[in-house]
C-alpha cells in the first residue's frame, strides 16, 4: 500500500507538471510561424518580419508596444485590424502588397500610436478618413500614387514622417505632365481640388443649359403647334356660310378672352 501510494503521488505530480508546462507553452504555440515576442528598450515588441504573412495575425499579445509586420505579402487592411492593441506605439507595415485600406482599419490606435510606416506598398488612392483622428507620423513613400484631389486632401490630413515626403511620387495623374514628379513639388503650383471644383461647376452649367434648351424647345414647339391648330380652325370658319361663321367666330373670340 505504501508503494502504491507513492506511485499515485508521483503520477499526480507528473500530470500537474505536464499541465503547467502546457499552459506555459500554449501562447508561444499560438503565434504564427515566423513571429515571436521580445522586449526592446523596455517596450514589448512583436516581430513578424519576413514571415510570409498574407493577413494581419490575430494572436498578437494585446500589451504589444511595437509591432513589425514588414516584408510580407499582406494585400489589404480590414476594418478593426488592430482594435485589440490599445497600447501600440509603433506599427511597421512597410514592404507589403497593401493596395486597399478599409475605413476604420486603424480604429482604436488614435490615443497612443505615434509611428505608422506604410512605405513600399501598392497604394494608389486612400481616403483621408482612413487616418481620421490618428496623430501618428505616417510614412507613405514609395507607393504608386494617383496624384489628384483625393491624395491632396490625404496629405493635408496626416502628419508625414520626417524625410518621407520626397518619396511620395506621382505614378499617375489627372494631368499627364505631373507623372514622375514629387507630389509636394506638384501641389506647390497646382491645386488639384480647385481644378476639380471648376470642372464640376462647368459640368453643372452645361447640364443646366441642356435642360434649359430642352424647355425652350418644348415651349417653341407647343406655341407653333397651337398656331397651326388656330390657323386650320380659322380656315375652317372661312369655309362655313356667313351666319354660321360669325357665330363660330364669336364663340372662338369668347373662348380666347
Range of the domain at 104: 29-189
Residue 92 resides in a domain: yes
Q: Per-residue confidence of the chain (257 residues) as pLDDT tens digits?
A: 555 555 566 666 667 666 655 544 444 447 888 999 999 889 999 999 999 999 999 889 999 999 999 999 999 999 999 999 999 999 999 999 999 999 999 999 988 999 999 999 999 999 999 998 899 999 999 999 999 999 999 999 999 999 999 999 999 998 889 999 999 999 988 999 986 444 444 445 445 555 555 656 655 565 566 666 666 666 665 666 655 545 555 554 444 44
Same domain, 133 and 149: yes
Residue 217 resides in a domain: yes
Same domain, 63 and 87: yes
Same domain, 70 and 57: yes
Same domain, 121 and 176: yes
Model-level pTM greater than 0.75? no
Q: Which residues pair with 115 in a beta bridge?
A: 90, 137
Residue 237 resides in a domain: no
Predicted local confidence at residue 59, as pLDDT: 87
Determine the Cα–Cα distance for residues 24 and 5; give it in Å rounded to an integer.
29
What total of structural domains would you count in the chain? 2
Same domain, 195 and 178: no
Find, among 32, 81, 87, the residue nearest to 65 by Cα: 87
Which domain CATH number covers 153? 3.80.10.10
Residue 165 resides in a domain: yes
Same domain, 132 and 200: no
Predicted local confidence at residue 112, as pLDDT: 92
Same domain, 205 and 177: no
Predicted local confidence at residue 175, as pLDDT: 86
Residue 180 resides in a domain: yes
What is the CB-side half-sphere exposure of residue 87 using CA atoms within 13 A? Answer: 11
Burial 174-187 (b: 16+ CB within 10 A, else e): eeeebeeebbeebb
Same domain, 214 and 184: no
Contacts of 74 (CB under 8 A, 6+ apart): 53, 54, 55, 56, 93, 96, 97, 98
Task: For 150-208, write each residue's pLDDT tens digit.
Answer: 999 999 999 999 999 999 999 999 888 999 999 999 998 899 998 644 444 444 544 55
Residue 121 resides in a domain: yes
Same domain, 147 and 205: no
Determine the Cα–Cα distance for residues 233 and 213; give it in Å rounded to an integer.
30
Same domain, 54 and 129: yes
Residue 144 resides in a domain: yes
Same domain, 118 and 198: no
Residue 52 resides in a domain: yes
Same domain, 136 and 200: no
Contact predicate 149/193, CB 8 Å: yes
Contacts of 115 (CB under 8 A, 6+ apart): 89, 90, 91, 92, 136, 137, 161
Amino acid at each position: 500500500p505504501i508503494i502504491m501510494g507513492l506511485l499515485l503521488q508521483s503520477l499526480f505530480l507528473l500530470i500537474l507538471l505536464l499541465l503547467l508546462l502546457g499552459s506555459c507553452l500554449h501562447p508561444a504555440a499560438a503565434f504564427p510561424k515566423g513571429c515571436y515576442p521580445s522586449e526592446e528598450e523596455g517596450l514589448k515588441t512583436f516581430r513578424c518580419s519576413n514571415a510570409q504573412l498574407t493577413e494581419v495575425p490575430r494572436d498578437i499579445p494585446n500589451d504589444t508596444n511595437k509591432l513589425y509586420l514588414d516584408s510580407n505579402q499582406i494585400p489589404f487592411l480590414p476594418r478593426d485590424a488592430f482594435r485589440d492593441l490599445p497600447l501600440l506605439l509603433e506599427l511597421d507595415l512597410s514592404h507589403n502588397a497593401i493596395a486597399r485600406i478599409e475605413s476604420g482599419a486603424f480604429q482604436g490606435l488614435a490615443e497612443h500610436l505615434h509611428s505608422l510606416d506604410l512605405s513600399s506598398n501598392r497604394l494608389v488612392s486612400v481616403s483621408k478618413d482612413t487616418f481620421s483622428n490618428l496623430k501618428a507620423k505616417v510614412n507613405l513613400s514609395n507607393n504608386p500614387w494617383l496624384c489628384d484631389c483625393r491624395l491632396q486632401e490625404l496629405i493635408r490630413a496626416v502628419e508625414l514622417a520626417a524625410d518621407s515626403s520626397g518619396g511620395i511620387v506621382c505614378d499617375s495623374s489627372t494631368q499627364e505632365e505631373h507623372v514622375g514628379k514629387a507630389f509636394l513639388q506638384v501641389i506647390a503650383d497646382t491645386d488639384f481640388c480647385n481644378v476639380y471644383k471648376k470642372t464640376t461647376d462647368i459640368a453643372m452649367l452645361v447640364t443646366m443649359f441642356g435642360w434649359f434648351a430642352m424647355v425652350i424647345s418644348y415651349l417653341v414647339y407647343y406655341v407653333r403647334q397651337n398656331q397651326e391648330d388656330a390657323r386650320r380652325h380659322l380656315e375652317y370658319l372661312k369655309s362655313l356660310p356667313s351666319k354660321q361663321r360669325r357665330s363660330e367666330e364669336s364663340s372662338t373670340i369668347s373662348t380666347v378672352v
